[in-house]
A and B are shown apart, each in its own frame.
Chain A
């Protein structure tokens, strides 16, 4: 393939604190040269892409998505899910193991990897289960999955309710140095809950999920991380209390990291009014006060990464009584556009936003993935081009994802990924 020169872009790479106009040369799937200002590469014979007024950043890394493959292919496949990722600017996605069967052994890790190689358009990193069948009863073969390529462990969708088993999982994970990702929700406290517990749930007459259902589990897990010294990563924090506890845990030197979703950063529980099943998600959309605390957590470093929790479902599954609809939002394709709203309203800096979607999530994956999320010569050429001024309207029917379940249908967003390059290959171009 002919080398490509991305010319005159605003290059933003928070890992190197780069934010300046420049050019990037891509050859043989790698970043071959990078220069600022009017610098030109020594070589010739490349295709030139003029990226004036566009931002060039490392391809985004999503620590948390649901590709639904194997077993739930009516919701998503590795093909459709990775295409959706490419359209959203993601070049690396970590897929959660709540498939059918669950990704709890080597053969299913192998299946995901093989399928990702044959039909995926971006990098897929599988996350293996903590417990066998996600049942919360016995540890899955974590070592075997680690050697097959699992990048982390999680029973996402469910917490490990049994504290002793969670302690053992954290202890055992030390042998592989991989993070344990917990979906923090006390299932007993949250039983049958449909949305955030508060005045809106009272008005709608829906059983609520109190913030304490998440926070009590965050507290327990931080205590267990301290006890074991293992690496705990908390999925989708959604409440101000969770942010406070992670902040305190980090100050104590406990090895805890956490992520937040685009929807918890931008949408509040009011979105559910009218029994909008497309706004039904777990953890539930919370209050405006929680949103402010989450943004504060991003800014002060308490929250390490933005992860989509992309959870596609079929339209039919969402077209029903609120309590019967599954939880989840199809998020890969709208994530960046939604987050740009935080930048446009002055709530967060663009460099910070990109930082939380690139090298910071890569850091959570550990040294093995140290090259991801950084525009460094020799690294895989995973690059996204962004038009920060482009206005667009969310049209779920045009999603690459099979999941059209978004509460943003018809919303006008400003800022869009216009080109996604994975290992030097253009996998999406507007």
Chain B
């Protein structure tokens, strides 16, 4: 049974028994998943399902955010995240404008806060920000009345990526609880891995991290209060064994230049996800990658495009997840 949820009559459907209802939604910003409960993540994933349904229609558009202004503010390059937000906003009938740092007054030295205040003056209801420095969205959230969505900040967080990853896992595996998820690669510099660790552990998954020790964050598993517990396994074979999901991270080429890794060849030998290694996971294990991939480096071409890969599906789900978040922040009764 489904319930007609949206009051303006557009048929966005909320699956029954969502533990948290949209009216109990308490978040004004999406900065990271560290302050989200299991029920709240569940709610987002439920609504994402409804949005998927909207996107499957012949006319993939609903008027839910008509008259709302959404702005993207990107201080770093991005293909899929920015496009995905743009499509999400358009599918909800919001007006969206895109600002990139290289073509704006930012190159003239305008500060982040002044830029945000400008966007606010122009009527932004939601600002979607990507920034090379950790914490920039947190700063933004302190200075504008509208909502801030973190589209990736430094090494810190990329919550919408983690949510679309979790949605994809749930779509295939039914539930996230007790899934064995192995994350392979540069977890130290990865906002994707941090947000996934928060989200997945909150949902009850068991996360294994497989990184070269130079690319592993400091202090994992010390005081639990500050970061969730993960299993650390530097041996890729042991890390993959029995996994339900294998998530591969992009390796930035500058890690070689800064001496964190001896060579690309050695990384491939020790950490590449290839066909042979994937066999150690469960037969129906999913292969994921947040993109953009270095095919032939962190992941073999065969695995990247193989039958277990859901990498393109991740991209598709990204639009629905972002629709759900925009809806929760800017839609509904709070308008």
Chain A residues with a Cβ under 8 A of chain B: 197-208, 210, 274-275, 319-324
- 6 closest Cβ pairs, A-B complex: A205-B156, A275-B135, A205-B155, A199-B219, A205-B134, A202-B217
Query: Are the C-beta atoms of B113 and A320 separated by less than 8 Å?
Result: yes
Residues of B221-270 contacting chain A, CB below 8 A: 222-223, 226-227
With CB as the reference atom, state the residue of chain B lying closest to A207: B155
Query: Are the C-beta atoms of B134 and A322 separated by less than 8 Å?
Result: yes
Residues of B190-222 contacting chain A, CB below 8 A: 191, 194, 217-220, 222
Q: A199-B227, A203-B226, A205-B191 are in contact. Are A321 and B218 (CB under 8 A)?
A: no
Asked if B131 is at the interface (CB within 8 A of a chain A CB), the reply is yes
Query: Are the C-beta atoms of A208 and B131 separated by less than 8 Å?
Result: no
With CB as the reference atom, state the residue of chain A lying closest to B198: A203
Select B134's contact among A275, A319, A320, beta carbons within 8 Å. A275
Asked if B136 is at the interface (CB within 8 A of a chain A CB), the reply is yes
Q: A202-B226, A204-B156, A320-B113 are in contact. List 15 more A-B contacts (CB 8 A).
A: A198-B218, A199-B222, A199-B227, A203-B194, A204-B134, A205-B134, A205-B155, A205-B157, A206-B134, A206-B135, A206-B156, A208-B218, A274-B138, A320-B139, A322-B135
Residues of B within 8 A of A205 (CB): 134-135, 153-157, 191, 194
Residues of B within 8 A of A199 (CB): 218-220, 222-223, 226-227
Taken residue by residue from 151 to 170, chain B's Cβ proximity to chain A (1 for < 8 Å, 0 otherwise) reads as 00111110000000000000
Residues of B74-120 contacting chain A, CB below 8 A: 111-113
Query: Are the C-beta atoms of B218 and A197 separated by less than 8 Å?
Result: yes
26 A-B residue pairings within 8 Å (CB atoms): A198-B218, A199-B219, A199-B222, A199-B226, A200-B226, A202-B217, A202-B220, A202-B227, A203-B34, A205-B154, A205-B156, A205-B194, A206-B155, A206-B156, A207-B155, A275-B135, A275-B138, A320-B111, A320-B139, A321-B131, A321-B133, A321-B139, A322-B133, A322-B134, A323-B134, A323-B154
Residues of B130-154 contacting chain A, CB below 8 A: 131, 133-136, 138-139, 153-154
Residue total for B at the interface (Cβ-Cβ under 8 A) = 26
Query: Are the C-beta atoms of A201 and B131 separated by less than 8 Å?
Result: no
Chain B residues with a Cβ under 8 A of chain A: 34, 111-113, 131, 133-136, 138-139, 153-157, 191, 194, 217-220, 222-223, 226-227
Q: How far is the CA of A200 from the CA of B156 in the complex (A)?
A: 11
Residues of A within 8 A of B157 (CB): 205
Minimum distance in angstroms from B231 CB to a CB of chain A: 16
Q: How far is the CA of A274 from the CA of B31 in the complex (A)?
A: 11
With CB as the reference atom, state the residue of chain A lying closest to B111: A320
Select A321's contact among B136, B194, B217, B226, beta carbons within 8 Å. B136
Residues of B within 8 A of A208 (CB): 218
Q: A320-B113, A320-B139, A321-B112 are in contact. Are A202 and B134 (CB under 8 A)?
A: no
Q: How far is the CA of A321 from the CA of B135 in the complex (A)?
A: 7
With CB as the reference atom, state the residue of chain A lying closest to B221: A199
Q: How far is the CA of A321 from the CA of B111 in the complex (A)?
A: 9
With CB as the reference atom, state the residue of chain A lying closest to B225: A199
Q: How far is the CA of A385 from the CA of B203 in the complex (A)?
A: 58
Residues of B within 8 A of A321 (CB): 112, 131, 133, 135-136, 139
Minimum distance in angstroms from A362 CB to a CB of chain B: 40
With CB as the reference atom, state the residue of chain A lying closest to B195: A205
Select A319's contact among B113, B217, B220, B222, beta carbons within 8 Å. B113
Q: How far is the CA of A202 from the CA of B223 in the complex (A)?
A: 12
With CB as the reference atom, state the residue of chain A lying closest to B135: A275
With CB as the reference atom, state the residue of chain B lying closest to A199: B219
Q: How far is the CA of A205 from the CA of B295 in the complex (A)?
A: 26
With CB as the reference atom, state the residue of chain B lying closest to A270: B226
Query: Are the C-beta atoms of B133 and A324 separated by less than 8 Å?
Result: yes
Q: A198-B219, A208-B218 are in contact. Are A323 and B226 (CB under 8 A)?
A: no
Query: Are the C-beta atoms of A203 and B227 separated by less than 8 Å?
Result: yes
Residues of A within 8 A of B222 (CB): 198-199
With CB as the reference atom, state the residue of chain B lying closest to A319: B113
Minimum distance in angstroms from A46 CB to a CB of chain B: 55
Residues of A within 8 A of B133 (CB): 321-324
